[in-house]
A and B are shown apart, each in its own frame.
Chain A
Amino acid sequence: MAIPWDRKIDAYAEQVRVILRTVGELSITLGVILMLFCAYLLWGTSAYTERMQLVLQQELTEEKPKDDKSGKIAKIELGKAVALLRIPRLGRDYKYAVVEGVDQEHLKKGPGHYPGSAMPGQVGNFVLSGHRTTYAAPFNRIDELRRGDEIIIEAREARYTYRVTSQDIVEPNEIDVIAPVPGKPDISPIRSFITMSTCHPEYSAAQRLIVYGVLKKTEERKV
């Protein structure tokens, strides 16, 4: 054997050092990437929502889709604009086009309306869901809504003003909150309600924050 023992040990130690250094570098890199991903979730996803909101809000200003036979407004397709949502308590500029549908792809565009729940102003429950932390976070501050606050829904045919009645925090499977009469699935409705849901607490999928309201005023639009 030509190589002395101490040199063998040196070579071995160098190998261990290289491996440790590489593992360390990869860990730091992964950490930086995860932080970047969090930034993407909080701010990067908003860019898409803002772009889609422009499209949806444009849709609302265009000719309303009419059903020829009845003269009523045709059913709104999934992914299309339903109405404009305004909440004065959350700022004069607070304005989101509500999209039809509550699948992931729809909620990325803005607050979504549950297909099959009442349309704006109709008797029953107009149910909306919206993101709290990602995708422009339209429902981030709905926990600040107090009893009596206005929720304004500007549909193509009329402007509906709902007033907040209460708030609740429920488990994700509590489907009763979106019943035609919120919380009372066995009763058929005689009034127009609104129910808004988002995640609770922030950054969590553990529970749902629910805001309830009831229709107070309807102003028909002049055609």
Chain B
Amino acid sequence: MYGWIWRKLPGGLGPRLLTAVVLAAVAGVVLWYAVFPLMEPAVTLDEVTVGK
């Protein structure tokens, strides 16, 4: 999978490395700010009230 993506990236080693880092960063930001907030309510590791 990653080999396939790597081969699709344009340019030589430098531009490819840069694009790969940018792609990873974009994936991280999307997860952190969009996906994780949606996942968080389903995780009940911090239930604090009584009688509910």
Name A residues whose Cβ lies closer than 8 Å to a Cβ of B. 21-22, 25-26, 33, 36-37, 40-41, 44-45, 102, 104, 107, 114, 129-135, 139, 170, 172-175, 177-178, 197-199, 203-205, 208, 210
> Smallest Cβ distance from A18 to chain B, in angstroms?
9
Q: Is the CB of A173 within 8 A of B48?
A: no
Interface residue from B1, B44, B51 paired with A175 (Cβ < 8 Å):
B51
* Chain B CB within 10 Å, residue with most, of A133, A173, A199: A199
Across the interface, do B32 and A205 meet the contact criterion of CB distance under 8 Å? Answer: no
Q: How far is the CA of A199 from the CA of B48 in the complex (A)?
A: 5
Q: How far is the CA of A198 from the CA of B48 in the complex (A)?
A: 4
0/1 string, B14-40, CB within 8 A of A gives 1: 000000000000001001100010011
Q: Which of B1, B48, B50 has the most CB of A within 10 A?
A: B48
**Residues from chain A with Cβ under 8 Å of B28 in the complex:** 36
Nearest A residue (CB) for B2: A25
Nearest Cβ in chain B — how far from A34, in angstroms?
10
Residues on the A chain within 8 Å of B13, using CB: none
A208 and B48 in contact, given A36-B28, A41-B43, A104-B41 (Cβ under 8 angstroms)? yes
Residues of A within 8 A of B45 (CB): 41, 133-134, 199, 203-205
